[in-house]
Amino acid sequence: MTVKEFYETYYVKYPHVSTDTRTISQGSIFIALKGENFDGNQYAQKAIELGAVCSVVDDKTKEADNCIYVENTLTFLQELARYHRMQLNIPVIGITGTNGKTTTKELVSAVLSQKYKVEYTKGNLNNHIGVPLTLLSISKDVEIAVVEMGANHPGEIKTLVNIACPTAGLITNVGKAHLLGFGSFENIIKTKTELYEFLAGVDGTAFIDADNENLTNNLRGVKNTIAYSFSSETDFKGTMQGNSIYAAFVFNNKGNSIEINSSLYGEYNAKNMLAAATVGTYYGVSMEQIKSAIEGYIPSNNRSQTKKTEKNTLILDAYNANPTSMRASLETFVRMNVESKAVILGEMFELGEASEREHISILEILKGSTIGNINLVGNWPHIEGLSASYYKTSIELKEVLQKTPIVNSTVLVKGSHGVKLELLVDAL
């Protein structure tokens, strides 16, 4: 059965696609994916028992009345998603970048939802499986889609844009992350800007951070650009506001301006807010609606999130970390004007040969600060002149905090997701 035949026979009638039997509902389509530690083919029959109309498998031994055999289920999922996308005559905005892509995706979606019915990437489903599932969740009444795209190896954005076929795109920034997979910073730039390369080929529109030379110098042939900036003269300009714990800026567009505050920690998030405001204005959302959307957005999932506990004020930025985001978060924290500060930093993963050098550069920021309570979790080097407490795991630090708690402090919690710093929240 071809993708087109499957689409017309099954998907049009049963548009809920699942790759996990835990999300099967009556009338679902189950696609059995395989990974290093699992084989979805083993659950094909269970999915049907749970209500799936069919299971798509690539193991011939699983063929049955309601099982449809294909050569490769992952390829089939991606081709089905691309076919569905090509039936949609709507703007599709692709978003990628080293840091801030999830927050920017959330802000852009919130802004556009003021005027349109929007479908967007849920959570962090931004890879070769998540992007197809996002596309297949777009119903006929959706007016704009926002698709987040992540990568940790060369060429991955090219794969994703060829599935999603965006009509517009935005790269938040390019920084040092996943160096182990990419091999070099140059490869990161090349991979991220594959979004620009695709847009150039379809005469699409790119929203460009004019302050970032890594982006402006690597447009890959894009002709339709919409620039935003804090320092250059562009149609969409931001002016930083205040010295608060939260990001705030004044949004200026062709002589009109409005102040926008947020519940997002860190002045670096103002650039993500400016990007969202620019995209919103381009698609006809009013300044007042943009302000309402951004100010109403409450961060969650340990991303630029603040939390008041009985003991402290926590700044939870622990969903992920790389040298670029860690530096931005820590430098903002160092400048904050609060009485008592403490930091809990988790190791930054996937840095390869650059790991020790990048960790030392972060410790140098702490060494030059007045922060006295410094806690490091994971594999951190020791440097002369820095007084810090070292812990192998978050569990080890949690046991210490339960006996000797941090109190009456503002605490920055930042690290790679694998360090599991979220386990510390109950003790803080």
β-strand partners of 258: 251
Q: Is the dihedral of CA 26, 85, 31, 68 positive or negative?
A: positive
Query: Does residue 251 surpass a pLDDT of 70?
Result: yes
Whole-number pLDDT of residue 122: 92
Query: Do strands 205-209 and 168-171 pair parallel, antiparallel, or not at all (unpaired)?
Result: parallel
Q: What's the pLDDT band for 176 if we cut at 50, 70, 90? A: confident
Q: Percent of the chain scored above 70 by pLDDT? A: 99
Q: Is the pLDDT of residue 41 over 70?
A: yes
Q: 381 and 363 in contact (C-beta within 8 Å)?
A: yes
Residue 129 burial (CB count, 10 A): 17
- The predicted model gives 111-132 an average pLDDT of 95
Please compute the mean of the pLDDT values over residues 185-196 and round it to a whole number: 93
Per-residue pLDDT reduced to its tens digit, 351-384: 989 899 999 999 999 998 999 899 999 999 999 9
Judged against a pLDDT cut of 90, whether residue 245 lies above it is answered with: no
169-183, 189-203, 316-330 — which is least confidently predicted? 169-183
Strand segments (E) across 190-229: 205-209, 224-229
Confidence of residue 75 (pLDDT cuts 50, 70, 90): very high
Q: What is the mean pLDDT of residues 250-259?
A: 93
373 strand-pairing partners: 342
Nearest to 220 by CA among 210, 206, 239: 206
Query: How many angstroms separate the Cα of 226 from the Cα of each of 78, 105, 170, 181, 275?
Result: 30, 17, 10, 31, 10
pLDDT at 243: 65
pLDDT of residue 153: 86
pLDDT of 24 strictly over 70:
yes
Is the pTM for the entire model greater than 0.75? Answer: yes
Average pLDDT over every residue of 253-263: 93
Tell me, what's the pLDDT at 61?
85
User: Average pLDDT over the chain, rounded to whole?
Assistant: 93
pLDDT beyond 80 at 411: yes
Report the SS3 class of residue 203: coil
| Mean pLDDT on 27-54 | 93
Q: How confident is the model at residue 88 (pLDDT cuts 50, 70, 90)?
A: very high
- Burial of residue 124 (CB within 10 Å: 0-12, 13-18, 19+) is middle
Q: What are phi and psi of 26, to 5 degrees?
A: -60, 125
- Per the listing, tokens 């691309």 go with 82
- Of the listed ranges 154-158, 179-183, 244-248, 326-330, the one predicted with least confidence: 179-183
Tokens 């160096």 found at: 179
CB atoms within 10 A of CB 288: 10
* pLDDT tens, residue by residue, 328-343: 899 989 988 888 999 9
Q: What are the tens digits of pLDDT across the range 285-313?
A: 999 999 999 999 998 777 888 999 999 99
Confidence bin at 218 (pLDDT 50/70/90): very high
Buried b / exposed e over 32-68, threshold 16 CB at 10 Å, is bbbeeeeebbebbbebbebebbbbbbbbeebeeeebb
Looking at residue 252, its pLDDT comes to 94
